[in-house]
Amino acid sequence: MSLNELRNKAYRNAVTHGFHDKELSNEHCLCLIISELMEAVEADRKGKHADRESFKSSYEDEEPHDDVNFKYCFEKYIKDTIPDELSDAVIRLLDLAGLRNISIDDFPKEAIYGASESCVGETFTESIYAISTLPIRYFYEYNYSFESQIGHMLLSIFGLAKHMNIDLIWHVEQKMRYNELRPKLNEKKILNYENNYFGNYMYYRPIMGWRSNNYI
Task: Report the alpha-carbon distance of residue 179 to residue 101 in Å, rounded.
Answer: 21
Which pLDDT does position 188 carry in this prediction?
54
Which DSSP symbol is given to 201?
E
When mean pLDDT is compared across 3-7, 52-56, 61-65, the lowest value belongs to: 61-65
Residue 184 confidence class, pLDDT cut points 50, 70, 90: confident
Task: Report the alpha-carbon distance of residue 7 to residue 30 in Å, rounded.
Answer: 16
In the predicted model, is pLDDT for residue 215 greater than 60?
Answer: no
Can you tell me whether residue 188 is helix, strand or coil? coil
pLDDT digits (tens, 9 = 90+) for 3-45: 999 999 999 999 999 999 999 999 999 999 999 999 999 999 9
Rg (CA), the chain: 20
Amino acid at 116: S
Nearest alpha carbon to residue 23 among 99, 134, 107: 99
Share of the chain above pLDDT 90, in %: 78
Domain ranges of the chain: 3-188
Burial of 172 (0-12, 13-18, 19+ CB in 10 A): buried
pTM: 0.83
Which pLDDT does position 216 carry in this prediction?
36
Task: Report the alpha-carbon distance of residue 96 to residue 10 in Å, rounded.
Answer: 9
Tell which wins on pLDDT, 207 or 99.
Answer: 99
In the predicted model, is pLDDT for residue 213 greater than 90?
Answer: no
Query: Torsions phi, psi of 202, nearest 5?
Result: -115, 135
Instruction: Give the mean model confidence (pLDDT) for residues 134-157.
Output: 95
Which pLDDT does position 51 carry in this prediction?
97
142: CB partners within 8 A, 6+ apart: none
102: CB partners within 8 A, 6+ apart: 7, 96, 146, 147, 150, 151
Query: Torsions phi, psi of 38, nearest 5?
Result: -65, -35
Residue 60 confidence class, pLDDT cut points 50, 70, 90: confident
Contact (CB, 8 A) for 37 and 160 = no
Mean pLDDT of the residues in the chain? 87
Nearest alpha carbon to residue 164 among 88, 53, 50: 50
Which pLDDT does position 115 carry in this prediction?
97
Query: Torsions phi, psi of 203, nearest 5?
Result: -155, 165
